[in-house]
Amino acid sequence: MADETKPRSRTMRVLRGLWWLVDTGRRAILNLLLLAVIAAVAWTLLHRGPPPLADKTVLVLNPHGPVREQFSGSLRDNALQKARGSELEQTRLRDLLTALDAAATDQRISSALLMLDDFAGAGLPTLRELASAIDRFRAGGKKVVAWGSNYDQRQYYLAAHADEVWLHPMGGVEINGYGGRRTYFKDALDQLGVTAHVVRAGRFKNAAETFSASGPSPETDEADRALYGGLWADYAAAVEHARRLPAGSLDRAIGELPERLAAAGGDGAKLAAREGLIDAMKTRDQLRAALIARGERDGETFRQIGFADYAARFTPPMTGPKVAVVVAEGPIVDGEAGPGTIGGLSTAALVRRARDDAAVRAVVLRVNSPGGSAFGSELIRRELELTRSAGKPVIVSMGDVAASGGFWISTAADAIVADPATITGSIGVIAVLPTAERALERLGLRTEGYRTSWAVDAYDPRSPLDPRLEQVLQTSIGHVYGQFLDRVAAARKTTPERIDEIGQGRVWSGAQARERGLVDRTGGLRDALALAAARAKLAPGYRVQYVEREPGRAERLMEWFGGLTGTTLGDLLQPALQAALPPPLPAPLAELKQQTAWLLQSSDGRRPAAMAHCLCTPP
């Protein structure tokens, strides 16, 4: 037995030795690989940076999707999209403005090219901000060329401010005017057995009219006529001035469109040239060849840099006094909310963070909101009020829309700056309570049960609305409206009675609001920043810092890996992401959800809420 055991022991020792060698080698190789990765990452971080910019470079402005004040959606989703190497289907206004203003004095940038096919539009105030930046760029003697395969109304507003407007020979320019139809749901809801009970303060407060009426009220017709007429006059005057067209040219062209298009043989591009809307017809390759001839060749195309890459080269200084910008964009809801929505708690926290920063000397609140929760609006307004009490000036800059709750939060400002085309006002309050008792009756369903008082289920969608609850709500809504009037009156240094005359839920343009004393001056974000700096007595050279929710560690890692590895990481993650993330809603359901989301928020179970919402969208 002893002789048999020894060979086995030797064999086991040999096997264990071999395993030790294999395991040690494996660890060594893995450690070497890890060290190599760490070294590569460190080298990348130390040597990363944009390549030097050569002379005669063309700045390419090709915004994707709508232009917004901030990226909407979660930071995680945006970081994942970057990691996949995909273009974000939205563009930040500040990136375009930074690129244009920096390039205006950069001798290496010779000209700019507007490529507008992927631009999904913005409101007239945002378009004006961009057009003003284009004009500042041109003021330095630099040329701007716009090119499109087709121009819609919003795209053309920007194109008109270029030195030359080029169009594909098979393209056209589509300018129609402002306004449109609303869908009224009352008759359809009646057929379903659903009733939308509307409680409101303000005879012009028509946000829920589409659910409770079969057509527009006289007040809606009156307000729409004044609002859209004023906005269209603003648009037409700006385009006619930029293109040096006689006043009234756009109205006459639209009125005589069938005859004029027939005279051009049905050729939209030819018609645009005849009307003075474009300067030349060029295909994409002809565009490329023309810009090569004017500048420098870079491979098969002209020397160029995209606006996002160019803007990323410029970082604000790290020290010195600053003006903080807090963006309030989207509907206002209670609690926390991510970018693209205003959370009462989360946006108030951003204002508080700016106030607690010793380097911040003034705050600019950039508002682009149709309103929403009155309570959420009050949380934000109070933080702005405390900021002013702390000795830091607060200036509100109104963007495309700053109405209802968007106006409520603006009442704590030292001054309000609005674009002439900002949709604002809508000083009113509303609550909507849908009930479906008739629908249940048609199905043969009955509801009943013991209650200690009528208030237990005063609002139950399965039963008719109790008239006592309706009276309570009307009183409550009237009280909130009174608070709204008091805040606006105190801010505008007038009486609640005067504000009630111009309030009543009516929507005004920025120019109309200034005439009625609701805003202090008309202008853009630059004007608001300058005013904030002046109120804080800051010398030129102050910093501008956007105060936004900071991404978490996982989001930072995603964004960093996206920039480091480009599409490689995205290709690896995409199958897992598609399996983990739910598919998007079909378009009709998504549209229905968007239109009725605010209505659903107006009643939380048994506690209907006061909503300061105008259901406004920029035309």
Report yes or no: 63 and 88 within 8 Å, Cβ to Cβ: no
Place of tokens 């760490």: 38
Specify the pairing of strand 429-435 against strand 423-425.
Answer: unpaired
CA torsion 413→415→420→421, rounded to 10°? -10
Lateral strand order in the sheet of 119-121:
91-92, 65-68, 119-121
DSSP annotation of 409 reads G
Residue 482, token pair as written in the block: 């009174």
Of 249, 240, 483, 458, the closest CA to residue 382 belongs to: 483
Q: What are phi and psi of 343, to 5 degrees?
A: -90, 135
Q: Which amino acid is at 566?
A: G
Of 359, 358, 360, 412, the closest CA to residue 383 belongs to: 412
Report yes or no: 341 and 333 within 8 Å, Cβ to Cβ: yes
Own/partner pairs, 551-557, CB within 8 angstroms, 24+ separation: 551/75, 551/79, 552/75, 554/76, 555/75, 555/76, 555/79
Residue 299, token pair as written in the block: 């491979």
Active site residues: 205, 404
CA 539 to each of CA 101, 393, 469: distance values in angstroms, whole numbers, following the listed order: 20, 15, 57
Rounded to whole angstroms, how far apart are CA atoms 342 and 336? Answer: 8
CA-based Rg of the chain, rounded to a whole angstrom? 30
Residue 444, token pair as written in the block: 């043969």
Place of tokens 């060749």: 297
CA 599 to each of CA 62, 275, 378, 413, 436: distance values in angstroms, whole numbers, following the listed order: 36, 45, 19, 29, 15
Handedness of CA 124, 129, 132, 133 (dihedral sign): negative
Instruction: Name residue 417's beta-bridge partners.
Output: 397, 521
CA 182 to each of CA 123, 193, 206, 231: distance values in angstroms, whole numbers, following the listed order: 19, 22, 12, 18
Rounded to whole angstroms, how far apart are CA atoms 402 and 328? Answer: 9
CA 406 to each of CA 81, 277, 446, 613: distance values in angstroms, whole numbers, following the listed order: 30, 36, 42, 8
Rounded to whole angstroms, how far apart are CA atoms 441 and 140? Answer: 72
**∠ at Cα 369 (119, 469), nearest 5°?**
140
Report yes or no: 156 and 124 within 8 Å, Cβ to Cβ: no
**∠ at Cα 354 (351, 359), nearest 5°?**
165
